[in-house]
Structure 1
Amino acid sequence: MSWYSVIYTRARHFKAQNYVLGTLVQASFYVCVLIELLILAFSSFVYYGITCQLIENDIQASLYMVVYGLLTFMMLWSYARVIFSSPMRVPKEYEMDEILDAKLRAVTPFNEQGRPMLDSSTEEQITTQRRIMDDFAAARGVVMVEVDQQGRLRYCYECRVLKPDRAHHCSSCGHCAVRFDHHCPYLNSCVAAHNYKFFVLFLLYLETWLIWNIISALQAIVHYFISYGANDRLDMILPLCCLTVLQFTSSIWPLGELLRYHWLLMSLNETTCEQAKIPNIRGDPKANYDIGRWKNIEIVMGWGLWLFPVRTSASDGLHHPINYVSPVGSDTTVRVTVATAESDGTRTSPTTTPLP
């Protein structure tokens, strides 16, 4: 569990005991968002009040203002969609009732802190756990391909749900998220299926915004030393130079590296969580979700309006196309195939296909 997950978890427990103070504590987690907005306001003040004033050509300065305003708008639009998009939780049909959950807990070992110790299960317990979860999935008509190393479907004992493929429990938010990527404390938001496109666009527009600031600032600095002496207007040149250095370093690392990393993840149809722990797909231990670069990107970005933070994803977050790698083995009994969305927007139902 990360350091910020510990803070989030303690805040939830505190809120359960004292709702008013706990709510205020959770609201304080937006302090990073507030600081980021203040930095943006200062950057805008420097850009309009100093950078554009040092550019002598009025038409060029006006054009720079328009481009800056457009980039700022798109960045803030994407930023707001990341933060305020409702989390896509696991649907009710994956949730076990209390009686069935109690049966599963009865055959699962727990440690002193109440956390399940699945690796300590006996063979008999594993068989019973697998049967309970398989029967529940069949009764609810839900199909999952991801299993653990013992062939069991993945179950969250905290949320009391079977985890759909690629879903994981976010310890910061306190619930399971569909196609979970990571929790970002600097946005105070869980990045998952519901807002991953918006997150990528936010990184893209923020990086473009920084580069535009740097290009404009360099031109303004050149004009300053042509028009003024080195010490004539220190109140203008010092804030501009300091901000330019900060923006330059941020555009390379961490922001530039983060954008490159998530572009790679999107082109491979992977998540940050899956980079740390490779999913185990039933029927083929080497199978993955990579169906080709452009199809992978379309799953996240949709069929059009890629550059706009509107919901266009081609995936419902619960069903995913699978790229089977290994040849069919005689020891494999079941392979689950999940159909991809067709161009007309329809989706075929998941099917279970017996292997020879």
Structure 2
Amino acid sequence: MADLYRSVGPPNFIRAYDEAEQELKFNLPPWRLSTASQKLLTVCLYIAIYLPVLVLFIITVGGYSIYLIFYIKPLITDIDKIPEVYYYHSESERNASKTKGWTFFSLITWCVLWILVSHYRALRTNAGEIPKEKEWDLPSEDNSESSNESTMLIEKRKDGTIRTCARCQHRKPDRTHHCKQCERCNLKMDHHCNWIANCVGYFNYKYFFLMVFYGALALAIFICTFWETAVVVLNDETSSQFLCLFIVLSYSLGSMLGIALLGFVIFHLWLISNNYTTIEFCEKKKEITLESKISPYKLGLFDNFKEALGNEPLFWPFPFKYRDADDKGLYFKVNR
């Protein structure tokens, strides 16, 4: 069946989809030469691509603003008509409230700052592309598979030949995969993320992980503290129905998002500890034996984290000091 597929090509509907995709992506003229309808189509395409990025930014800034207005502000400001449920009956209780407010303000602001910085860096950093050098060209008489570089690769096709990409017209380094949305091969590709309008790969995985990690941490703080605001608002007779609904809905959505994001962080911590990418994990799930499910790149817990987050552990929590200038992402150490 595989030979038949290669000889006759994919079914007609798949070929038609690919042709339409190529026409849509590459046949649009430059902006100055486009007609009004082509400009409108281009604008719609960019809106579709960057809408999730904008939504994530709005959720982050909006949630941060809600937390400051409805939780932090009542704790740190002196309000004469504060609801009785706060139980500020002495000056010491008010001072303790201010200390608590400024503490959580610092923590949540720290998290949101690194969420935004990590999001920007993950968005703007290229995941990594195959170099446009002769050694990565498709095999030919002048460039055979018996080169020294090719023998250093451990990932092969089922027939034992070097992996290649027909779309990019290149040999594939280990852990490299083609992304149809980006229309390129990405080094150590983890997955394509619409929230950053970019692929997650060798050069920006740390930024993506920190964005998710600090997001989960911020939501954990939100879940553990904002319930107090919900109790105050619901027990305050002066609260309007709209305010009660808004606070309860905000806390419910934040809690659901926080639980989901926490599970995502735990999953990626497991991937890092086993030196997997998401794509490799999905591929290994199909393997039968336990030995075949173990990543050949698993080097030990500390080295696995260095591979994913950089060689300087002190900078793991920060979205900088990641890859060295001589890091190429083409070859990886193997546990033989």
Identify which range, 175-184 or 216-225, moves more after superposition. Answer: 216-225
Cα drift, residue 175 of structure 1: 0.6
Question: CA separation of 1:150/1:287 partners in 2, compared to 1, >3 Å: closer, same or farther?
Answer: farther
What does 1:259-270 correspond to in 2, within 5 Å? 259-270=265-276
Aligned-partner Cα distance in 2 for 1:252–1:265: 19
Matched residue pairs, number? 281
Deviations 1:324-353 (A, max 9, x none): 2xxxxxxxxxxxxxxxxxxxxxxxxxxxxx
Q: Does 1:71 align with 2:111?
A: yes
The answer on whether the counterparts of 2:123 and 2:197 sit within 8 Å (CA) in structure 1 is: yes
Q: Does 1:256 align with 2:276?
A: no
Question: CA separation of 1:252/1:133 partners in 2, compared to 1, >3 Å: closer, same or farther?
Answer: farther
Aligned-partner Cα distance in 2 for 1:217–1:202: 22
The answer on whether the counterparts of 1:8 and 1:172 sit within 8 Å (CA) in structure 2 is: no
Deviations 1:184-205 (A, max 9, x none): 1232110000111111111110
| TM-score, with length taken from structure 2 | 0.74
What are structure 1's unaligned runs of at least 5 residues?
1-5, 104-130, 325-356
Cα drift, residue 61 of structure 1: 2.3
Deviations 1:150-208 (A, max 9, x none): 11000111111110111111111111111111111232110000111111111110000
Aligned-partner Cα distance in 2 for 1:300–1:161: 25
Q: Does 1:39 align with 2:59?
A: yes
Aligned to 1:134: 145
Cα drift, residue 42 of structure 1: 2.3
Q: Does 1:18 align with 2:58?
A: no
SS of match in other structure, 2:192? strand
Amino acid aligned to 1:91? P
Query: In the alignment, which of 305, 309, 318 is matched to residue 301 of structure 1?
Result: 309
The answer on whether the counterparts of 2:164 and 2:171 sit within 8 Å (CA) in structure 1 is: yes
Amino acid aligned to 1:318? L
Q: Does 1:322 align with 2:328?
A: no
Aligned to 1:244: 251
Cα drift, residue 7 of structure 1: 9.4
The structure carrying a bigger helix percent of its residues is: 2
Query: In the alignment, which of 38, 46, 62 is matched to residue 27 of structure 1?
Result: 46
Aligned-partner Cα distance in 2 for 1:164–1:233: 61
The answer on whether the counterparts of 2:276 and 2:295 sit within 8 Å (CA) in structure 1 is: no
Aligned to 2:175: 166
Amino acid aligned to 1:36? L
The answer on whether the counterparts of 2:127 and 2:189 sit within 8 Å (CA) in structure 1 is: no
What are structure 2's unaligned runs of at least 5 residues?
1-15, 32-38, 76-85, 87-96
Question: CA separation of 1:252/1:62 partners in 2, compared to 1, >3 Å: closer, same or farther?
Answer: same
Query: In the alignment, which of 132, 141, 153 is matched to residue 162 of structure 2?
Result: 153
Cα drift, residue 64 of structure 1: 2.4
Deviations 1:221-250 (A, max 9, x none): 334456x22x63444432221111111111
Aligned-partner Cα distance in 2 for 1:316–1:96: 17
Aligned-partner Cα distance in 2 for 1:83–1:61: 33
SS of match in other structure, 2:157? coil
Question: CA separation of 1:52/1:290 partners in 2, compared to 1, >3 Å: closer, same or farther?
Answer: same
Amino acid aligned to 1:265? L
Name the Cα RMSD after superposition. Answer: 3.0
| TM-score, with length taken from structure 1 | 0.70
Question: CA separation of 1:27/1:142 partners in 2, compared to 1, >3 Å: closer, same or farther?
Answer: farther
Aligned-partner Cα distance in 1 for 2:295–2:221: 42
Amino acid aligned to 1:185? N
The answer on whether the counterparts of 1:182 and 1:192 sit within 8 Å (CA) in structure 2 is: yes
